[in-house]
């Protein structure tokens, strides 16, 4: 194996430590406590784990955590009423509605009901537009975490060829915007892209956000490239025993690591950075709402 492993777990711990220090100063200097409200509708087990982790890490950073668990049959009007209440609550600086929502709720409508300045996921149409036009936005947490790891791995990203595989609104598209903002030459690939392997082999930076276990293999990777694996896929692991499973990314780690210069593992790569960036965004939202300088 040649690639350097980018340790997202350690990087995320460092980011959380910085956020905690800034939260302490905010409290001492201004008597302010950033607050994050997380709304979960229904009982999706994976979402429940995410929400629990978010709440725990929010409190560990010295912030206030407000959890709202709603019944799966909650109506759109009830959910919108809760969001309006959180929008008006001065103790709440960040609002996150855990996706996916049950089918009877319109995700776009719900996300766009969040006050843009409290939209710490960066999914509100205003924040999408602000990011696309190079203005001050709330930036989606997963691509923000990827960008931070890439800057750490490369320093200046200017002029590098970046290929992002996956064009979702929550990962692929904002990732492309962020790389463009850092002056990469960006290609956004998807399920209709022709000869995707050859395209990926031209990438100095390869980001996989597809949702297909181990799709990107070593022969897709340019020697020395940096590979960021966003995928989180649970697959059967009979080697661990009957009925056991394990998490893998969208990248085949062993073959890609033999070619890449640096690579993120799954688990322990992008995942921990996502929550750390959520906490950083909540701190930023709090500072902005009080007209205070933003943390770096
Ligand atoms: P989506 O399903 O919304 O998007 C997947 C994208 O991959 C689509 O643009 C799709 O193309 C493209 N795609 C699918 N199959 C292929 C293929 N064979 N070749 C090329 N492109 C393909 O997924 P998300 O963006 O929400 O998530 C992607 C992955 O990242 C998932 O594994 C998810 O679990 C993970 N994730 C991890 C997070 C973290 O914190 N680490 C956070 C969010 C997601 P098309 O548009 O043409 O259909």
The string of pLDDT tens digits covering residues 256-276 is 999 999 999 999 999 999 999
Tell the CATH topology of 141-272: Rossmann fold (3.40.50)
The string of pLDDT tens digits covering residues 32-53 is 999 999 999 999 888 998 899 9
Helix (H, G, I), strand (E, B) or coil at 295: coil
C-alpha 224/C-alpha 187 separation (Å) is 19
For the chain, domain boundaries: 31-121, 141-272
Residues in the chain: 296
Two structure tokens written together for 134: 């190079």
Distance 231 CA to ligand 1 centre (A): 7
Residue 143 confidence (pLDDT) above 70: yes
166 is in an annotated binding site: yes
pLDDT of residue 295: 85
Active-site residue flag, 240:
no
C-alpha 1/C-alpha 102 separation (Å) is 43
Our mutation pick for probing the ligand 1 site, out of 101, 190, 264, counting the most ligand atoms within 8 A of Cβ, is 190
Ligand 1, CB within 6 Å, residue ranges: 142, 165-168, 170-172, 189-192, 196, 209-212, 230-233, 250, 270-271, 274
Q: The whole model's pTM is what?
A: 0.97
Of 22, 54, 173, 204, catalytic: 54
The string of pLDDT tens digits covering residues 13-24 is 999 999 999 999
Of ligand 1's listed atoms, the one at least distance from the Cα of 250 is 32
pLDDT of residue 1: 62
Name 216's bridge partners: 251
> ipTM for the complex?
0.99
pLDDT band (50, 70, 90) for residue 296 = confident
Pairing of strands 233-236, 245-248: antiparallel
User: Which residue's CA is the closest to the ligand 1 atom numbered 22?
Assistant: 191
Where do the DSSP E strands lie in 42-166?
Answer: 64-70, 94-97, 161-165
- Identical fold for domains 31-121 and 141-272, yes or no, is yes
168 is in an annotated binding site: yes
Percent of the chain past pLDDT 90, that is, above it, reads 96
The string of pLDDT tens digits covering residues 243-260 is 999 999 999 999 999 999
Crossing angle of helices 270-289 and 8-30, in 10° steps, is 20
pLDDT of residue 188: 98
Helix (H, G, I), strand (E, B) or coil at 248: strand
The string of pLDDT tens digits covering residues 49-71 is 889 999 999 999 999 999 999 99
Residue 164 confidence (pLDDT) above 90: yes
pLDDT of residue 46: 86
With respect to CATH, is domain 31-121 assigned 1.10.10.10? no
Distance 289 CA to ligand 1 centre (A): 33
Active-site residue flag, 9:
no
Active-site residue flag, 119:
no
Residue 252's closest CA among 295, 287, 195, 210? Answer: 210
């Amino acid at each position: 194996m040649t690639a350097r492993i980018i340790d997202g777990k350690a990087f995320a711990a460092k980011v959380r430590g910085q956020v905690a220090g800034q939260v302490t100063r905010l409290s001492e200097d201004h008597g302010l406590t950033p607050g994050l409200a997380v709304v979960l509708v229904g009982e999706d087990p994976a979402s429940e784990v995410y929400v629990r982790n978010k709440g725990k890490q929010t409190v560990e950073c010295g912030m206030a955590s407000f959890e709202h668990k709603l019944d799966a049959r909650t109506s759109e009007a009830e959910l919108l009423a809760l969001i309006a209440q959180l929008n008006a609550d001065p103790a709440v600086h960040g609002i996150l509605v855990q996706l996916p929502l049950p089918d009877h709720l319109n995700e776009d409508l719900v996300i766009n009901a969040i006050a843009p300045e409290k939209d710490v996921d960066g999914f509100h149409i205003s924040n999408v537009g602000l990011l696309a036009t190079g203005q001050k936005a709330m930036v989606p947490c997963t691509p923000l975490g990827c960008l931070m790891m890439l800057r750490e791995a490369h320093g200046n990203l200017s002029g590098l060829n970046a290929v992002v595989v996956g064009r979702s609104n929550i990962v692929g598209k904002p990732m492309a915007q962020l790389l463009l903002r850092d002056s990469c030459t960006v290609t956004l690939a998807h399920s209709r892209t022709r000869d995707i392997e050859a395209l990926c082999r031209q990438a100095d930076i390869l980001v996989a956000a597809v949702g297909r276990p181990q799709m990107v293999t070593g022969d897709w990777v340019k020697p020395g490239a940096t590979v960021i694996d966003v995928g989180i896929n649970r697959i059967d692991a009979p080697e661990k025993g009957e009925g056991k499973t394990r998490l893998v990314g969208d990248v085949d780690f062993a073959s890609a690591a033999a070619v890449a210069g640096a690579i993120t593992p799954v688990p322990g790569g992008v995942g921990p950075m996502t929550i750390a960036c959520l906490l950083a965004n909540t701190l930023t939202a709090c500072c902005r709402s009080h007209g205070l300088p933003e943390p770096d």
